[in-house]
Chains A and B, each alone.
Chain A
Amino acid sequence: MTVSRRHALKVLGSAAFAAAAAPVMAEARSARPSGPDDLGLLFDTTRCVGCRACVTACREANKKPADVVMIGGAPYDAPLDLNGSTLTVVKAWTAGGRSGYVKAQCMHCADPACASVCMMGALHKGPRGVVQYDVDRCVGCRNCQIACPFNVPKFEWGSNTPQIVKCELCRHRWAEGKGPACAEVCPRGAVVSGSRPQLLAEARRRLAATPDAYQGGIYGATTGGGTACLYLSAVGFGPLGLPGLSDEPVPALVETVQHGIYQGAVIPLVLFGAFAAVTWKNHRSARPGQEDES
């Protein structure tokens, strides 16, 4: 019994050491870069006047019903946030005596957390970098909602066949030669669409032209591993409700740890072998009546 215990601890010790050391030894997973053709949006708080034409155009383009809220007995299409029928929303912000508007929609991350957690890839990167949804591969687990740092994916809570709802940059309109409906209708150029490199160039041009009008640089240029939807702000990004993320992609930490443990299934197989060997040995050498000893 003593020998087998020592043997057991030796085998397990080496397996445990391998398991503990693996995440450290595993190189941090490299970020998935955005592509040169990735489609995105550029939003600029200095230009938005809060007309919400984008919200209405988005509803029409995506055939989503109005989010009717009763205020003082009268119905308003007034979504308070993104929800199961609202893919984009305009909210007000105030900061230091100043106020303005901010538009929210999916950020189309270069390296999205929602797609990283999605069990069967219902949410995945599609053509032109769009984070798109395939309902046939969705079981409705809502892990994407937990993972998304921007709280973008929404769930149809009222439906008995619920789906995940989010902006897909109007990819259903591309065949007609049209881009995102929100950018198409914006009267002030507060939201414009285009390829990510174009948008970055435009953002840098605006920053260079009127540097005093902006604070905080370009949100999404590198934030969270880079997003296809970029923001320029007069007051920085905290008041806009955008989280202060590092430049590391959100999924990097989890994937580094998990791949460190599971890469090539080596550690699980070694552990299994160790468990089986020790159990088999102990099982064989078990003395009759031993179990009643106490």
Chain B
Amino acid sequence: MTASTRPVGGTILTPAAKALLVLAVLGGAVGLYRLTQGLGATTAMNDGYPWGIWIAFDVAVGTGLASGGYALAFVVFILNRGRYHRLVRPALVTSLLGYAMAGVAVMFDLGRYWSVWRIPTHPGSWNGNSVLLEVALCMMAYTAVVFLELGPAWLEGLSASRRPERAQLAARWLPRAEKALPFLVALGLLLPTMHQSSLGSLMMMAGHKLHPLWHTALLPLHFLFTAFVMGFAVLYFESTFTGAAFKRPLETRLLARLGKYVAGVIIAFVVVRFVGLAVEGKAGLLVGSGLFSFLFWTETVLLLAAAALFLRPQTHLRPDQQLQAALLSMAGAALYRVDTFLVAYNPGNGWSYFPNVPEILFTLGLIATETFLYVLVVRKFPILAGVTPAPGRAVPAGLKQGATT
């Protein structure tokens, strides 16, 4: 892939990493409690709100934020903008970890988690109408695909191993991994197109229980838009923070050129959403729906503010403003998804839900685990570009050349 990527190296158990591990252990304790005491004793979920933040945040927002690999692959491999290539590996690592953590959240959320193995192994029982089945199979497959897309990175990491058999393995498989790439990239583009849009279809079935400002036949398209928005935004977040944390040069100029894509997707989303509401005759709800009108406008204003920032020439020179724009767009798109799954969902009958402390701790634990693993991976494997090589850990040049030609 990119010849200039290197492992960051350095100590794994920094004080920050230890703090992350403490959070991870707390989340793990909640997980253990859920496995022994059940969902009712652990969470605030109930028969009215059977999906809480483990689905609305960990899955719907989590995999949205894990769409960086998807959004970037579209720009790099389909629109053929090779200059963004250096962002691909870190984006794929975030995608892999994001989807893996969503998978962990689902396992703890499923009431009968021990029977989940039946889903991929019993195609005879598949219900072809089930949107959730498509989402589940697609997400499982995509997690595997992202792992394989990172094959060259794993193998380059192995080739630097002191053990000769590992280095040999890497030398043998690296060219094959490179050859398989177009096929894997195509799968890596198709699968998220399918399951990110279907995440939206999932809530279409809630029918009258979902507020009409969010319930529309365009839900799949809206979820595709927000996947791109969150995916792009994460690239800024990632690039800026790894720049600061690992003393590597900021990619401000590169990210500035990406801004037009994020702004474009945001504007397309907002326009399609308003046109959709107008066509469905729901324009009146934009002002008369109290909290829901407020939430709708909050989502829209956050996103439009982000788009405006992304398009402003001054932002192109300022990493802090780029980060602000990215955070605004992330917040807008994430709010849209949480609203769709939770806030705008109302089963009636006086049911209510607010996440309790264990649910929040579990979610924080997952985020901490994801962050810890991200740092671990970029320290051990050649993911980030522009890293100053740690003494004695540079990858032999011959192998690298063999990998890219």
Contacts and interface: CB of A to CB of B under 8 A. Distances in A.
7 contacts: A116-B130, A118-B127, A141-B111, A142-B51, A146-B203, A276-B182, A294-B253
B130 A119 contact: yes
B111 A250 contact: no
Contacts of B40: 157-159
B217 A278 contact: no
Contact of B182 (A147, A279, A292): A279
A157 B39 contact: yes
Contacts of A12: 78
Closest 3 A/B residue pairs (Cβ): A140-B111, A157-B40, A276-B186
Interface stretch (B9-17, B190-198, B353-361): B190-198
B113 A139 contact: yes
A83 B47 contact: yes
A272 B186 contact: yes
B205 A117 contact: yes
Contacts of B38: 157-160, 162
A166 B333 CA distance: 36
A138 B183 CA distance: 34
A118 B130 contact: yes
A61 to B, nearest CB: 22
Contacts of A4: 80
Given A119-B130, A139-B119, A276-B183, A291 B83 contact: yes
Interface stretch (B96-104, B164-172, B206-214): B206-214
Interface in A1-24: 1, 4-5, 8, 12, 23
B115 A272 contact: no
Interface residues on B, range: 35 or more
Given A81-B47, A158-B41, A254-B131, A268 B194 contact: yes
Contacts of B39: 155, 157, 162
Contact of A162 (B112, B127, B193): B112
Contacts of A258: 129, 131, 134, 198, 201
Contacts of A139: 110-113, 115-116, 118-119
Interface in B40-88: 40-41, 45-48, 50-51, 77-80, 82-83, 85-86
Interface in B340-362: 345, 347-349
Contact of B4 (A83, A118, A140, A292): A292
B193 A245 contact: no
A241 B350 CA distance: 11
B193 A155 contact: no
B285 interface: no
B305 interface: no
Interface residues of A, number: 73
Nearest to A83: B47
Contacts of A23: 217
Contact of B122 (A120, A146, A159): A120
Interface in A246-273: 250-251, 253-255, 257-258, 261-262, 268, 271-272
B241 interface: no
B136 interface: yes
Contacts of A113: 205, 207
Contacts of B205: 113, 116-117, 143, 146-147, 250-251, 254
Interface in A133-150: 135-143, 145-147, 149
A157 B130 contact: no
A155 B47 contact: yes
Interface string A228-258: 0000000000000101110000110111011
A92 B324 CA distance: 53
